[in-house]
Structures are given as C-alpha cells and as structure tokens.
Amino acid sequence: MPTFVYKGKTILGKVKKGKVTADNIDVAKNLIRAKGVVVIESIKEESSSGLNMEINLSFLDKVKLKDIVIFTRQLYSMINAGIPLVSALRALEQQVSNRKLKEVIKDIAKQVEEGGRFSAALAKHKDVFSDLYVSMIKAAEEAGTLDSTLKRLAEYLEKIEHLRAKVKSAMFYPTFVLIIAGIIVSGILIFVIPTFQNIYADLGGQLPALTQMVIKLSDFLRDYIGWMIGGIVVFIFVFKRLLKIPKFKYYFDMVMLKVPVFGELILKSSIANFARTLSSMISSGINILKALEIAAETSNNKIIQEEILKVKNQVERGISLAVALSRSKIFPPMLINMVAIGEDAGNLDEMLAKVAEFYEEEVDTMVDGLTSLIEPMMMVLIGGVIGFIIIAMYLPIFKMGDLVK
C-alpha cells in the first residue's frame, strides 16, 4: 500500500505536514481531512527504495478481546463525530498496533469502500469478530443506529472482559503460587539436600527416618526430573487436545461446576455473561431465538451451553422465557423471577442488565474473598513444606553423638 506525503492547513490556519498510507490518492485525501486538515496544499506519493521490505508477521499476533474493545470504542467516537465509516476505518488502520487486527481492518475498509455492508465484511473475519458482534452491527445497519450500537457493544465487551479477567485471576493466582512453590522446593531437594547427604554419609550411623525420606525424595527428583518435566509438557499438550473433543469438554465442565467454591464462581460468572449477552442483543432489536442461540455459543461452559439451547427450543415452541428457564436446574431463581417481571412489563433487556450487574458484583466479591483467603493458606503451605525439609535435615545434628563413630 503506497504512502502519501502531504502539507496542508487546519481550520485555525496552522500548517500541518505528515504521511498517510492508503490504497489511492482519493482515500488518502479523506484520511488527511479526518485528521483535521481542511486545505490540502500538496500531496504526493512517497518514493520507496527497493531495499525497503515490509515483513508481514501478522500471523504471530493474536487479536485479544481488549483490542476489539479499543477498536469498537474508537470507531464509535469517530462515527458519532460525523466521520464517514470508510474514513474512520482507514484512520483506525493507522492507529492499531496489533498487526493482525490492522490487516483485518484494512480488508473491512476495502470491502465497505467497494459497496459492501459493514456487517458482511465483519462476518468474513469470524476468528476476530464474534457472531454476537456481527449480529448487533447488522441490526444496527437495518435500524440506522450504528453509533449507539457501537457504544453499547463497547460497554458490553468492556464488562465481559472485566468479568473474564476476574475469574482468570481467581483461577490463576493459586496455580501460579503452587508452581513457584514447587520450583523452590524442587531446587532445595535437588541442589541443597545432596550437600547435607554427603556430610551425613561421612559421619556414618543410622539417620532418622524423616531425614532418610527427604534424601530418598531428593534422589528420586535428581534421577527423574527430566522425565517429570517431559511428562508435564505432554500432559498439558494432550489435555488441550482433549478439551477440543465435545464429549470430554462436557464432562470436564461438569466436574468444574462441582468443584467447591470455584464451581460456584464459574456458575455465577456464566450467568452474568448470559444475562449481559442476552440483554445487549435484545436491546439492539435482535430476535429472542437468535439471541439465545448466540448466547449459547458465547458460553465457555458446555453444560450451560446445552441448557441455553434447551431453553431456546422451548421458547421456539411458544413457551415463555421465564418458564423455560425455570425448567432447568442451572439457572437461579433470581434470574427466573427478573425475566418473568421483564416479560410482563415489556422491559426484558433492562431486567437482564440488572441481573448481569448483580452477578458481576457477586463475582467481584467472591474473587476478592478468595484472594484474601488463599494468600495466608499458601503462605502456611509453603512455609510448612520448607519447614518440614529443614527439620528433617537438621534432625541428625541433634543426634550427632549417636552418628559419630
């Protein structure tokens, strides 16, 4: 894509120079005007040397939910300010740092520029933009409410990102601490214990049973540490593969929901996600059946996903959403009652939004409580293990007279 060098003046008469990258000079002019330049005094394509080569490494970049949130928020601001969609997309293409997202925006802008619909262009990149995103944009195009829908989408994605981050932190923190503790303990057993072992071997005599147990554990780790690390790597690889098998994922999610404390956390976050997703789509004018279908797809838990699809099938047969939800053992009474009130009052999206807010606060409270509880427990556990090793290795010192021959 060529780069154009320009010189112009802003509305205040200030001289402004710069560069823009565009498919052609007309697109470049639109981008320059989007930057606030009202009079373009000169514009020309920048000459490029044959030695300058751009290496495309976009495949290394993964588009995260945070990148989509920023893109949506910025696109809303530009559209709301009256900037044409193509110009806004071209401007965002220059600002985005993620290489894969930059290529995606470039392709979307090209399709829209050629007369294609924005939603259709988004749908061609389902690995980046979800069905929910595409459906809401499609509904907005039909209703002529693109700016307000983009704002609603940005707010929705921000809340979902916050919720996921909270749940991940609750899951990741104890795992991370246990891994660090395991590395420290393994280091002591592999590098420190052998020193004590050599000292006690020179002394001779019978070592206490506790000391012998720690020494044997040290010998085992030194002999098999390579195999253990290899086994862990293979296990992680195989486990990730198994999670892609629907039946295995179903039973794994079932087990996770039954894990004390963490199961309740997963369920509450899933209910919050379901209510938030359904609320956003209904308020955008999406059909309730389509909304339920997409809500099921966005659920990370197979058990909850299947329950939502069962609800969808019942609603399709003419049963009210509240009654369909009540027939499931997954959905809590509060959600069912609020949905019933929303259906009667005709403000289902508002009721679902309130349910989402309630469960998001519940998740926040649970995560904060877990963090404050796990910290001292981990300290006690790590201290206890290291203390046990120290006692085991210093125990022979108290019986030095019996050891020395």
What HEC string does 308-360 produce?
A: HHHHHHHHHCCCCHHHHHHCCCCCCHHHHHHHHHHHHHCCHHHHHHHHHHHHH
| Gap between the Cα atoms of 326 and 364, Å rounded | 26
pLDDT reported for residue 327: 93
Q: What is the pLDDT along the chain (405 residues), one digit of tens a residue?
A: 677 788 887 766 677 788 877 767 777 777 777 777 766 777 877 654 444 444 444 444 688 888 999 999 999 999 998 899 999 999 998 888 888 899 999 999 999 988 899 999 999 998 899 888 999 999 888 888 888 899 989 889 888 888 888 888 777 877 888 888 888 888 888 888 888 777 777 666 677 888 888 888 888 988 888 899 999 999 999 999 999 898 999 999 999 999 888 889 889 999 999 999 999 889 888 889 999 998 888 888 899 999 999 999 999 999 999 999 999 989 999 999 999 999 999 899 999 999 999 999 998 888 888 878 877 888 888 888 888 888 888 877 776 655 554
Looking up tokens 């920023």 gives 70
pTM for the model stands at: 0.69
> Left (φ > 0), alpha (ψ -120 to 50) or beta: where does 13 sit?
left
Helix (H, G, I), strand (E, B) or coil at 48: coil
Q: Are 103 and 57 in contact (CB under 8 A)?
A: no
Kindly give the pairing relationship between strand 15-21 and strand 37-45: unpaired
Residue 3, beta-bridge partner list = 21
| Gap between the Cα atoms of 21 and 100, Å rounded | 17
Q: Where are the domains of the chain?
A: 3-45, 65-160, 255-367
Residue 294 in tokens: 């997409």
Looking up tokens 């006692």 gives 391
Long-range contacts of 397-402 (CB under 8 A, 24+ apart): 399/208, 400/203, 402/205, 402/206
Long-range contacts of 343-347 (CB under 8 A, 24+ apart): none
Q: What fold does the segment set 65-160 form as a domain?
A: Receptor-associated Protein (1.20.81)
> Which residue type, as a one-letter code, is found at position 2?
P
DSSP codes, 110-165? HHHHTT--HHHHHHTTTTTS-HHHHHHHHHHHHHT-HHHHHHHHHHHHHHHHHHHH
Q: Are 108 and 125 in contact (CB under 8 A)?
A: yes
**Quick one: CATH architecture of 255-367?**
Up-down Bundle (1.20)
| Gap between the Cα atoms of 202 and 197, Å rounded | 9
Q: What is the DSSP letter of 191?
A: I
pLDDT reported for residue 6: 81
Establish whether domains 65-160 and 255-367 are of one fold. Answer: yes
pLDDT reported for residue 316: 93
